[in-house]
Structure 1
Amino acid sequence: MEFTIMAKTKLAALLLTLLMAGTAQAADLPATHYAPAQAVLPVFTWTGLYAGVNAGAAFSDSGRPRYSEGPGFVGLNPGTLAGFQRSREQTGFVGGGQFGYNHQVGRIVLGLETDFQYAGLDRRRSGTGTFPNLPAGVTDNDNLTSRSRLDYLGTVRGRVGFLPSERLMVYATGGLAYGDVDVRTSYTVIGTGPFFPGGVNVIPYSGSRSSVQVGYVAGGGVEYAFTDRLSAKLEGLYADLGSSSVTARYTGTGGTGPTDIYTVRETNRFGLVRAGLNYRFTGL
């Protein structure tokens, strides 16, 4: 009996010793710490729909107009047409809005944009002349004018952009352009003497025409996203809407026929410089 009690006592002491040794070794092991999960920040992207506004200036091309006379028209005085064909480049305000979509692939951004805006571009021409060496009592003074006005402008363009940095885009753009062009012209002869039948001393001509012209537009710009939703851009464009013609007819009273006309054809080419602000609806 004594042996059994002593054996059990020794076994219990041995188990207690082993348990205390294991606890001590476990206490000496380095503690394991689990780091909290890190939030993944979204990467900025240009992909998504956007809309915005723009404003700037338009500069007309001062190319020479084409002028032609009907078979019944009496020719212009010397110098009248030369003065009429000279014209300064005109500047006007443009402003409106745009809507588009971008898709970013790496450092390349492909997009499609359409815009529509008011265009206050108004070009005027004027030429005057007087026949020299006329007989006594005879005078002949001519005044030829023309006005070409662009009332509105719209474009549908593709865009190809490159990203020097995450939020800075340099792009080229081009596509279709359209606009309403109003052309007017008038010609007045003021004279005295036997060359003016029926005693008429004022011979007036006039004509007007408004049409939607379609052409192309091309250019480029730079755009910077200063927040995840807002970006500002600056771009320059060149647009060519073809040419518009207007025919003037005699509007007075007298013996003129249907061929007593002249025609003016104006080119519709101009440059645009404008700044804009865009808001992106999708993509962060």
Structure 2
Amino acid sequence: MNKTLTASVALIALSTTAAGAADMAVKAPPPPPVPAFSWTGFYIGANIGGAWSNNRWTDTVFLTNFNNGNNGVFIGGGQIGGNYQIGQFVIGGEWDFDWAANNNNNNGVLIPGVGNIVVTNNNRWITTVAARFGWAIDHWLLYGKVGGGWVGSNNFSVTNTTTGVSFNCGTLGFSSCNNSTGGWLVGAGFEYAFAPNWTVKAEYDYLGLGNRTFSIPAGAAFGPFAGDTFTTNNRNVQMVKVGVNYLFNWGAPVAGRY
């Protein structure tokens, strides 16, 4: 009787151990951890926004300030760049190019005995090259920009809307007719990765530009403007842009694990 009971207990214990071992054998391994998002990689994208310029001209004959009226214009273009993430710190560089819509809304300045004078020198395009540095918080990136930029303008012109006479830098032999100038750039913004490899961004940029001078030849038949020199100081362009980027990164989560 004791031998039979002992054998039964041993058989039950053996069956339980075998069943437990079988259960352990069929258990699936735990899923791999979801990889952290990385900002490392190259990117290309597009942007739109607005630009505002401070660009007032002063002449030496009448000592008058002329506002060229190039304020609040639409800009649009694209950018390319690259990021490298070290921990949460992200460094990189970016080049962008934007076309600027001309907006000559200057009503001019009335000079007694001469007429209503309009000075025009609208910005046509803006390009910048800058270093980016930021702090990543998973799918968010807060960043700053430091670099330089250039602005291309249409030909400088002075128009007397009262008489219809116009003086154009491109055709009338001004002593200086350089239609592009450079300066320094600072900016800041944020970027958000909303899908694998796709991000959206918003940023503000300040572009400080150098002074410009245009001189009308002294012997020119331009009436009281012959020999006049127009100068602009403290020039700048401020931009607010939103954009989208495609990130060719090698550290982003794989599809299905975003």
Alpha-carbon distance in 1 for matches of 2:60, 2:114: 20
Aligned to 1:175: 147
Aligned to 2:30: 38
Q: How does 1:143-162 map to 2 (within 5 A)?
A: 143-162=116-135
Q: Which has the higher strand share?
A: 1
Aligned to 1:214: 182
* % identity of equivalent residues: 24
Conserved? CA contact 2:197–2:246, under 8 Å? yes
1:228 is aligned, of 193, 196, 211, to 196
**Amino acid in the other structure paired with 1:111:** G
Alpha-carbon distance in 2 for matches of 1:204, 1:210: 22
Aligned to 2:238: 271
- Larger-gyration structure (1/2): 1
Secondary structure at the aligned position of 2:36 is classed as: coil
Alpha-carbon distance in 2 for matches of 1:24, 1:101: 66
Task: Quickly say closer, same or farther: Cα 1:260–1:205, change in 2 above 3 A.
Answer: farther
Unmatched 5+ residue regions in structure 2? 170-176, 253-258
| 2:78 matches 1:97 | yes
Alpha-carbon distance in 1 for matches of 2:48, 2:189: 14
Structure 1 length as normaliser, TM-score?
Answer: 0.70
Alpha-carbon distance in 2 for matches of 1:177, 1:95: 16
The Cα shift of 1:21 comes to 7.6
Secondary structure at the aligned position of 1:37 is classed as: coil
Alpha-carbon distance in 2 for matches of 1:147, 1:188: 11
| 2:35 matches 1:26 | no
Conserved? CA contact 2:67–2:119, under 8 Å? no
**Amino acid in the other structure paired with 1:126:** G
After superposition, the C-alpha distances for 1:213-244 in whole angstroms (9 at most, x for unaligned) are 11111110111111121111111111122122
Conserved? CA contact 1:206–1:251, under 8 Å? no
After superposition, the C-alpha distances for 1:81-125 in whole angstroms (9 at most, x for unaligned) are 54x435667111110001111111222211211111111254546
Alpha-carbon distance in 2 for matches of 1:211, 1:89: 15
Conserved? CA contact 1:205–1:252, under 8 Å? no
Conserved? CA contact 2:120–2:158, under 8 Å? no
**Amino acid in the other structure paired with 2:57:** P
CA RMSD of superposed structures (Å): 3.4
Q: Which moved more, 1:203-212 or 1:234-243?
A: 203-212
Q: How many corresponding residue pairs?
A: 234
Q: How does 1:1-284 map to 2 (within 5 A)?
A: 23-29=11-17, 31-32=20-21, 33-34=24-25, 35-40=27-32, 41-61=34-54, 64-69=56-61, 76=62, 81-82=63-64, 84-85=65-66, 90-122=71-103, 124=106, 126-130=108-112, 140-163=113-136, 165-186=137-158, 206-208=167-169, 209-249=177-217, 251-252=220-221, 260-267=226-233, 268-282=235-249, 283-284=251-252
Task: Quickly say closer, same or farther: Cα 1:203–1:247, change in 2 above 3 A.
Answer: farther
Q: Which moved more, 1:106-115 or 1:18-27?
A: 18-27
Task: Quickly say closer, same or farther: Cα 1:188–1:55, change in 2 above 3 A.
Answer: closer
After superposition, the C-alpha distances for 1:174-217 in whole angstroms (9 at most, x for unaligned) are 20101212342326598xxxxxxxxxxx8967241342211111
Task: Quickly say closer, same or farther: Cα 1:121–1:260, change in 2 above 3 A.
Answer: closer
The Cα shift of 1:251 comes to 4.8
**Amino acid in the other structure paired with 1:26:** L
Structure 2 length as normaliser, TM-score?
Answer: 0.76
The Cα shift of 1:66 comes to 3.3
Conserved? CA contact 2:57–2:68, under 8 Å? no
Unmatched 5+ residue regions in structure 1? 1-13, 70-75, 131-139, 191-201
Secondary structure at the aligned position of 1:85 is classed as: strand
